[in-house]
Structure 1
Amino acid sequence: MGGVVGLQCGAALTTRLYPTVGPAGVVTLRLCIAAVVLTALWRPGLRWDRATLGTAAAAGTLLAVHHLSYYEAVDRIPLGAATTMEFLGPFAIALFGSRRATDLLWACLAAAGVVLLSHSGIPLNTSGLAFASLAGCCWGGYILVGKRLAERVPDGRGLALAVMWGSLLSLPCGIAQAGTRLLAPGSLALATAVAVLSSVFPYTFHLEALRRLPPRTFGILTSLEPAVGALVGLLLLGQHLATPQWAGVLAVALASIGATRTPGRPRKPTTPGSPNDTSHEPTAGAPAD
């Protein structure tokens, strides 16, 4: 939840940076500053096996593409609408990872909430919706890859390496769009706040959550983002919600609460070597090697 709130507050702050550096400049500043902070904290180094380096690179690539597409979307459509479309990725993870009827129920309730939350009589920019959808695909992929990275690296060094790679990928885009404006003192100060709120805190919290939660549960919990985005838009940007949208906020919140409070089916006691013994089977989301 700390990650969700930080992401949305940071996204609201970025609207003040768009006139100066543009969406790509915001992403570059955000990721570069976050990479410096995380590298200083964790000192990841490069002495990793190829599989771990590949996983970190995949996570960093997904972060960079997600950020670029998401902020391009926020530049074209309202924050609540962009975040709602972005939820499609976590929703897909929640849906395809379900193994019980109740899991599907909560995922469908969350989806209904998203539909209500995005209900508006105002036409939305088509390219903005497309960018938001791409951001959702990348966020869904990051949930899966981030889970694998969290299992391979037991601390924040993997995250620091991923963000470092993502910042390098975004750098050419930011320079092309903003040039030397990236170094303006006012832009750097505001971008530092955005980086801490939207990258350092959220992704640290997310990685710690992924160590403790299955991807399905994590995916449905992040379905609170549209609701939080709508509230942040109301409080910080003055974006008001209609009655159906508030109903969507409630539906998404109930789905998240239900998903985390639904008890799992208890395991039957087994003895090693018995047909029910799963001690040698890989757990869901665990590395295959």
Structure 2
Amino acid sequence: MARSVSAAQPPETTASPALAPAPPAPAAGPAPRRAAVAALGPVGLVLAAGVSVQFGAALAVLIMPKAGATGVVTLRLAAAAVVLLLVCRPKLRGHSRADWGTVVAFGVAMAAMNGFFYQAVDRIPLGAAVTLEVLGPLALSVLVSRRLVNLLWAALALAGVALLSGHGGGFGSLDLVGAAFAVAAGAMWAAYIVFSARTGRRFPQADGLALAMAVAAVLSLPFGIAEAGAELLVPGTLALGAGVAVLSSVLPYTLEMLALRRLPAPTFAIMMSLEPAIAATAGFLVLHQALSATDALAIALVVAASMGAVRS
């Protein structure tokens, strides 16, 4: 992308307390503590979102034999849209054409990200899929920074991907189609980061998220019906789909959008770099997808590369 998300935030949102006039000596102690507590809020939101979305993805894999990958996406987005529209009750009037354009772009990115990702986890392990997916935010940070050192971090990430797709590990030789879907999901993840921040600034509370989720649900509905048909209406499948929607869409997207209002894009990207490790843990605990030492090293390399690229 041409710029970071934080570039468009108001100065009062992104300004560091260190830029303010120096406080009197007696107040110097509490001020840093207050700043640290304030900074912990959005960081905790992003971590909680990561845990929620990855364990929700593991639950979604369990539903795929019944509803298929596209059917699960439809259940997830439709249930999330209904919940958010009922809770937020967003206003449809009073928004500019640019506002609606941002919401539609956010919804398209969300639908594509989910669709590609679930096609990926239907073919390759969850940890591997998220490791490849996180290359999207990594590429975003590299393009924004335009620093030569980030090429070294990108090379480190590629080394991790090479280990991940090699023979002999727990992941074995990855299905190329599944890997391609994961990479495409990563590209949409980068777009999601940008348009989520823009939507959060244009709409109050989670109104923009609710509208974007409705757009994503409408886009995915024809594909879900074509693949799953009447299976989407089975009570058990609906209940599991609702659980996936809450864990993977309603809760994490809301937390992330709230966090993006107070975090610059690079900081957000650093936190999102932990997603592969969280996903591998969820895959192990819920889906019994074991990791070899090579797999763990590959994931660690991608996580380290993502964090290093953003920090540099």
- TM interval, short-chain normalised: 0.7 to 0.9
Task: Tell me by how many angstroms 1:35 deviates.
Answer: 0.5
Q: Secondary structure at the match of 1:17?
A: helix
Aligned counterpart, 1:17: 63
Aligned counterpart, 2:8: none
Asked if 1:98 corresponds to 2:145, the answer is yes
Aligned counterpart, 1:8: 54
Q: Secondary structure at the match of 2:145?
A: coil
Aligned counterpart, 2:79: 33
* More helix per residue: 2
Letter in 2 for 1:33: A
Letter in 2 for 1:80: G
Letter in 2 for 1:210: L
Aligned counterpart, 2:6: none
**1:179-218 matched pairs, under 5 angstroms:** 179-218=229-268
Task: Tell me by how many angstroms 1:117 deviates.
Answer: 6.7
2: distance between equivalents of 1:238 and 1:53? 43
List per-residue Cα deviations over 1:77-100 (Å, max 9, x = no partner): 111111111111111112122277
2:182 to 124, 132, 149: 132
1: distance between equivalents of 2:152 and 2:248? 27
Task: Tell me by how many angstroms 1:198 deviates.
Answer: 0.1
Task: Tell me by how many angstroms 1:244 deviates.
Answer: 2.7
1: distance between equivalents of 2:89 and 2:116? 29
**1:213-232 matched pairs, under 5 angstroms:** 213-232=263-282
Task: Tell me by how many angstroms 1:116 deviates.
Answer: 7.0
Give the TM-score normalised by structure 1. Answer: 0.82
Is the Cα contact below 8 Å between 2:71 and 2:223 reproduced in 1?
yes
2: distance between equivalents of 1:114 and 1:233? 19
Structure 1: gaps spanning 5 or more residues: 265-289
1:62 to 97, 106, 109: 109
Is the Cα contact below 8 Å between 2:120 and 2:181 reproduced in 1?
yes
RMSD: 2.4
Letter in 1 for 2:69: P
1: distance between equivalents of 2:236 and 2:166? 35
Asked if 1:79 corresponds to 2:126, the answer is yes
Aligned counterpart, 2:25: none
Greater mean deviation of Cα atoms: 120-129 or 193-202:
120-129
Aligned counterpart, 2:32: none
> Cα gap change, 1:150/1:109 in structure 2, threshold over 3 Å: closer, same or farther?
farther
> Cα gap change, 1:133/1:99 in structure 2, threshold over 3 Å: closer, same or farther?
closer
> Cα gap change, 1:8/1:15 in structure 2, threshold over 3 Å: closer, same or farther?
same
Aligned counterpart, 2:199: 149
Letter in 1 for 2:125: P
List per-residue Cα deviations over 1:59-83 (Å, max 9, x = no partner): 0011111111110111111111111
State, as a whole percentage, how many aligned pairs show the same letter: 48
1: distance between equivalents of 2:153 and 2:173? 27
Aligned counterpart, 1:46: 92
Task: Tell me by how many angstroms 1:136 deviates.
Answer: 0.9
2: distance between equivalents of 1:106 and 1:220? 17
Is the Cα contact below 8 Å between 2:102 and 2:195 reproduced in 1?
yes
Is the Cα contact below 8 Å between 1:94 and 1:217 reproduced in 2?
no
Task: Tell me by how many angstroms 1:141 deviates.
Answer: 0.9
Aligned counterpart, 2:22: none
Give the TM-score normalised by structure 2. Answer: 0.77
Is the Cα contact below 8 Å between 1:24 and 1:68 reproduced in 2?
yes
List per-residue Cα deviations over 1:214-241 (Å, max 9, x = no partner): 2222223211111111111111111111
Task: Tell me by how many angstroms 1:204 deviates.
Answer: 0.4
Is the Cα contact below 8 Å between 2:53 and 2:248 reproduced in 1?
yes
Is the Cα contact below 8 Å between 1:84 and 1:117 reproduced in 2?
no
Letter in 2 for 1:237: L
> Cα gap change, 1:66/1:253 in structure 2, threshold over 3 Å: closer, same or farther?
closer
